[in-house]
Amino acid sequence: MTTEAPHNALLPTLVRASAGTGKTYQLTARLLRVLLQDSAPETILATTFTRKAAGEILNRVLEVLAKAGEDDDPEALQALREQVGISTLQHQTCRQLLHRLVRNIHRLRICTLDSLFTQLARSFPFELRLPPAWRLTDEIEEVWIQEKAIQRVVSTLNPSEMTTMLTMLGKGEIKRSIQRELMQVVDTAYGIHRRCPPDAWNKMVAPRRPEQADQTRAVGDFRSASPKQETVLAKLQLLADATETGDFKSLVDETLIRNIAKARRTHTEVKFGRSKLPDGLDDALDTVYAAVRTELIGLLSAQNEATGTILTAYDFHVNAIKQVGRVLSFEDVAVRLSKLFSAIDYDTLVNRMDGAIDHLLLDEFQDTSPAQWQVLRPLAVRACDRDAVAKDGAEWQSSRSFFCVGDTKQAIYGWRGGVAEIFDAVTDQIDGIAESEQNMSFRSSPDIMDFVNVVFSNLARHPMVREGDPKDPADKSAHEAAAIHRFAQRFPQHEANKKTLKGFVQIRTSSKVEKGDKDANDAACFQDAADLISEIAADAPDKTVGVLTRTNAAVAELITLLESRDVEVSQEGGNPLTDSAAVVTVLSALMMAEHPGDGRWRFHVEPTLLAADRSLDADSIRRRVEQRGIAETVQSLCETLAPLCGPRDTLRLKQLTHLAIGYENNPQPRLRDFVRLVQEKRVERPQRAQVRVMTVHQAKGLEFDAVVLPQLDGPLTRSSGNCVSDAKSLSQPAQAITRYIGQDHWHFLDKKWQFAFGNQGASAMTEALCLLYVATTRAKQALYLVIQPSKKKEFHLKTAASLIYHAVGCEEDPTQPNEVMHESGTPIWFGDADKERVKEVPAKTVKIQFRHATSETTDVPEDLSEL
């Protein structure tokens, strides 16, 4: 090709692209630039987060080239010229490139990271010690393998060892369910454990307990003290009794112990409530605090040691099971590759991959995990290598290129290993990368963008941002407040490209349940949300409606409510087939055959299945399974029930049959395992309805004409049961790991660990804000937020609803039910602008101009700004 590209067209670039600003457009443009400069398809690698996104990018490339190659379509050619920045591009060039791509479509790598890593693993089977003819597991099979490995761990320990181990795991307490306890340990800690050195769990060392003489002296001081207040006297006697008997564990949660830590940090006197303690007790208080600290750190150290031992044993058994079964998970592949790529040279990688990767394009990079970045980093370093200079001495241009696009405001996959900070670290770890920002939304109306600007620029209006002591690294509230400050200060002002697109935003309270519990208030909120969604669907039948929740349970509940209102609804990501009574009946029939002596199953199927076919019983179903297999048996049971079912249940029965056909290919298929598969595997309904209900995580990358958010009243963050790690950098394995302890006990930790725990708390708060950002930016024209009435007018809760209420500056009474707290824009946003002249609603209760939103955030507290 002879087309000339701009001089700096392929400089290494990192793009921070906000929601709806055209990340896919930019990635496609970069890919087309690379191809138009005669780069061979096999030298290009573009990675995305989902297979859908990968297919979309490839489709766009082919469609754009096909349209621009038409001689009678100059507009398409001009659009492509503007997209790639090549003003001399011709129709013939586009046709030539399209033909070359079609012939070499198998060489163009546009794939997910999981797919890429699978390809890389097959190139290094011996180095990675992969079993022959290995395959990937799904999430259901992975859980089964975990349980089998845990059973082996339990069987290898004798009863006394198991009792000791469980006591250590529970910090002195034995849990009722051994299997559940060990599964929780695996779920929360194994992902970090497998990338760390063997001694990482042994870095939490308990300090020495005070000498016995000091303890005896402290007891005497407490006994001889004569405070005026009886409550203080009782508390000192409690300290004396615990010190005398060595029962320091009972003092771990005592308020006075926390007050001692606070007084020592702030150099003030120790108080109990408002009461002062008698003089002369400083040494005794320090002694008892040191003893309690030794007790808690000792228990935590023992728990860490037991966790490391259990996980080491689990790692051995789970790898043995997978080796024999010749299976691996995606995470297994990523971890093995990360260890290999930390020491491999690039020439070896090129030989194994049968070609060099000169052009690397990374999409949704904020969701990359440390293990994944360890694999991608050598490819990125080479793609940014400026030593690739033309022979004539011309400046480095296009022989290699690097392009990375993402948005840390949309980093919502921390629970899956994603670390948004890696996106910020790319420019630090690789030299010569130019950064750019995109904040012009091509999705949302100006009213939606104005609302988003106001909310996220004014997060610091919420009272919780002023909570906590910034000078105390053990204060979780201070870390969370600092995270909110940072998010608000770094938030860029968004603009809407579609200036004339009508939009509408409304915040309203739901019905109030007098003296109702949380479940009752949730149910009332969902009922009102379902009514609202039904109205929107009826008023705007040609508009799509997205209903976004935080939990899968809320998805199922809202679908049931909408179906009862005759609203056509579908679900993203799917639910287990057990949401159908007909499917549950078939499963009960299979369990009846598996356990004929258990009358529960027969009692369940008797009114329906047995009533429809009296020849069915446990023996006949079992014989049918043995003679014809599970799939044919399930199909016959479904055919028996189908005439009694409606369209929804009939569809689910068909999906159950397909699931059974696929399951029967497994070696040694068993009825109870199939039943469990059906109970756990999510299956999506095939139809795409006007109203779609899903979690916010499932909505990532999607857009809707209207979005309804009915679940904004839960806590922004929840108590973490995960482990906490201490690593030198994001791309390196942690050097030390510990199990999590509650924030009331952070004052016992060393400062290094206090900051580690605080960073985790700040990350959880940041991810909660990212989740809220993703939810509010899915809407094109309308956004409806349904919140529960507050119990108090101050509305100082740590919830998304309260956060938005304060950020927007609402003045309405939040305790009132069925009240509009705020609305702006055009209520009839779905109407025809030429036919209907609807007066826009001014921004109710908002004191600042939406189009010129200003921030009220203050500086991040100096002591926590380095977190």
Residues belonging to the binding site for ATP are 17-24
Distance CA 558, CA 697 (A): 17
Bridge partners (DSSP) listed for residue 739: 723
Nearest partner of 451 among 784, 49, 861, judged by Cα = 784
- Is residue 769 a contact partner of residue 492, using CB atoms and an 8 Å limit? no
Which contiguous run of DSSP H or E holds residue 248?
Answer: none
Nearest partner of 50 among 402, 573, 603, 795, judged by Cα = 573
Which contiguous run of DSSP H or E holds residue 404?
Answer: strand 401-406
Bridge partners (DSSP) listed for residue 724: 738
Distance CA 445, CA 850 (A): 13
Q: In the numeric block, which tokens belong to residue 689?
A: 């309805």
Q: Which residues are annotated as a binding site?
A: 17-24
Q: Report CA torsion sign: 120, 123, 124, 128.
A: positive
| Cβ neighbour number for residue 161 with a 10 Å cutoff | 11
If you search the block for the tokens 């046709």, which residue do you land on? Answer: 95
Distance CA 16, CA 469 (A): 33
In one-letter notation, the amino acid at residue 706 is A
In one-letter notation, the amino acid at residue 645 is C
Nearest partner of 366 among 51, 17, 118, judged by Cα = 17
Distance CA 730, CA 44 (A): 27
Distance CA 16, CA 424 (A): 10
Q: In the numeric block, which tokens belong to residue 567?
A: 């609203």
- b/e map 293-322, b = 16+ CB within 10 Å: bbbbbbbbbbbbbbbbbbbebbbebbeebb
DSSP reduced 3-state for 14: strand
Bridge partners (DSSP) listed for residue 833: none
Distance CA 460, CA 856 (A): 7
Nearest partner of 743 among 469, 553, 552, judged by Cα = 469
Nearest partner of 675 among 556, 579, 608, 586, judged by Cα = 586
Q: Which residues contact 310 (CB under 8 A, 6 or more apart)?
A: 153, 165, 169, 182, 185
Half-sphere exposure of 704 (CA within 13 A, CB side): 30
Distance CA 172, CA 179 (A): 18
If you search the block for the tokens 């190659």, which residue do you land on? Answer: 69
Nearest partner of 252 among 206, 278, 288, 282, judged by Cα = 288
Distance CA 3, CA 85 (A): 11
Q: Could you tell me how far CA 611 lies from the centroid of its own chain?
A: 46
Distance CA 688, CA 572 (A): 9
Distance CA 629, CA 652 (A): 20
The strand pair at 820-825 and 504-509 is best described as antiparallel
Which contiguous run of DSSP H or E holds residue 772?
Answer: helix 751-776
